Amino acid sequence: MKSLSEIDTIAKRSSKAMGFSWGVAEEIGKSIRLLELFGLPGIKTLNQYYILKAKEKFENLDLINEKNSSIKYPYCPIILGINFLDQIRNVEKFQKITFNKICFPLLILPFLSKSSEIIGKKIKIKFDNFEFLLNFNINISSNFLELKLPKIVENIEINIIENKDNFLEKDWNNLYKLSEETFVDENDSLKKSAAGAGLTDND
């Protein structure tokens, strides 16, 4: 079994060989490592993308807007992912971001995952019948099991989810009330036994 370090290195070096700068290649290596760590087919998908990239053209998206439409070709998932991550503080205000066509969308997930960590909010991406929830770069939840992911998808939607409690206020109040039973009123006895109490200064 290949180690995560080996996966990172091979993904990085192969990306440099495909014409990406070393800086971008390093980000790709980290992203593929993350996909494999989360049990998603990073190496397989990257390999498929590079085979297609050698024959097809893809569009780079430099500035992320609320609605993004490629002019002619599908968006490159790597450049899109890197720019999404770089611009996440500005992109965050949109809450909902759409794209009309992306190639191998699985490859943008690690960048969305890192973006989720930066802004401290969950990010959900939907395309075709697939949904992925990015949780602060800790894990990726999805309805993807053994289904075959498409090479090119249309009508992609990314939602930045506002933080909110995952419980009802009454549940919180019940537990809080229960926790109050552990509270102890401060009295003279406690004050005397508190740290530092009763010590004499011999200086």
Helix axes 22-37, 4-17, angle to 10 degrees: 140
Please report how many Cα atoms fall inside a 13 Å half-sphere around the Cα of residue 193, on the Cβ side. 5
Which pLDDT belongs to residue 80?
96
Enumerate the β-bridge partners of residue 123: 134, 160
What pLDDT digit, counting tens, does each position of 49-107 carry?
999 998 999 999 999 999 999 989 999 999 999 999 999 999 999 989 999 999 999 99
Which pLDDT belongs to residue 198?
47
DSSP state of 164: -
Alpha helices in 162-202, H assignment, sequence order? 169-179, 188-193
**Cα distances (Å, whole numbers) of residue 27 to 92, 120, 144, 189:** 21, 21, 24, 60
- What are the extents of the domains in the chain? 4-161
Using only C-alpha atoms, the chain has a radius of gyration, in whole angstroms, of 24
Give the Cα separation of 82 and 78 in Å (integer).
6
**Cα distances (Å, whole numbers) of residue 49 to 17, 45, 162:** 14, 6, 33
**Cα distances (Å, whole numbers) of residue 185 to 175, 176, 191:** 19, 17, 11
Q: Could you read off the pLDDT tens digit of each residue along the chain, which spans 203 residues?
A: 788 898 998 899 999 898 999 999 999 999 999 998 888 888 989 999 999 998 999 999 999 999 999 989 999 999 999 999 999 999 999 989 999 999 999 999 999 999 999 999 999 999 888 899 999 998 888 766 556 777 888 889 999 988 876 667 777 777 767 777 777 665 555 555 554 444 444 44
First to last CA, the chain: 67
